[in-house]
Amino acid sequence: MEKKTIHFNTSLNKARNICSKQEKCVVDIQKKLYEWGVDPSDTKIIIEKLVEEKFIDEARFAKSFTRQKFLQNKWGKVKIKYHLNQKKITEKNILKAFHEIKDTEYQEILYDLLVRKKQSTKAKSQYQLKGKLINYALSRGFETDKIHSALNLILKQ
């Protein structure tokens, strides 16, 4: 019984340490605890304790994740939402996180991505170019209507 208590406390402290260095969600910590071989009943208690102590905050995680993926990776909302859903973040927290992205900034990033991609894309026709640019923007997670708006501006130039 003594060994289990030590393992529990060690795991809890390691999890606290990880959460204090970088935003993590419940799913991330559950995976870590599973990798460490922590008993599932202990995992539940550790997660509850981390949430109670504010080491884990799903809303804060969603905002941080959204900002990082949008500004650094230039991902669109579709791709960000998909990845947050994979981490079992609630729809409410995802919508709150999307308020962190200003519409003008969102359009500017999409526009800049498409302009840069247009310069490096070889196409035999305007139609083929447009198709390649649409596919590129879709793969980055941007919405179709926003892509078409940005492309209309770019291709008129």
Pick the CATH number of 2-56 from 3.30.750, 1.10.10, 3.30.310, 3.40.50: 1.10.10
Residue ranges of domains in the chain: 2-56, 59-98, 103-156
Q: N- to C-terminal Cα distance for the chain?
A: 73
Q: Output the pLDDT for position 155.
A: 81
- Which positions of the chain have pLDDT values less than 70? 1-6, 157
- Its sign, for the CA torsion 130, 132, 138, 140, is negative
Q: Output the pLDDT for position 1.
A: 37
Q: Output the pLDDT for position 105.
A: 95
Query: Residue 122: what are its φ and ψ, rounded to 5°?
Result: -100, 130
Instruction: Write the DSSP assignment of 33-86 as a string of letters.
Output: HHHTT--HHHHHHHHHHHHHTTS--HHHHHHHHHHHHHHTT---HHHHHHHHHH
C-alpha to C-alpha distance for 52 and 47, rounded to whole angstroms: 9
Q: How far is CA 125 from CA 116, 121, 150, in A?
A: 18, 11, 19
Query: Residue 60: what are its φ and ψ, rounded to 5°?
Result: -65, -40
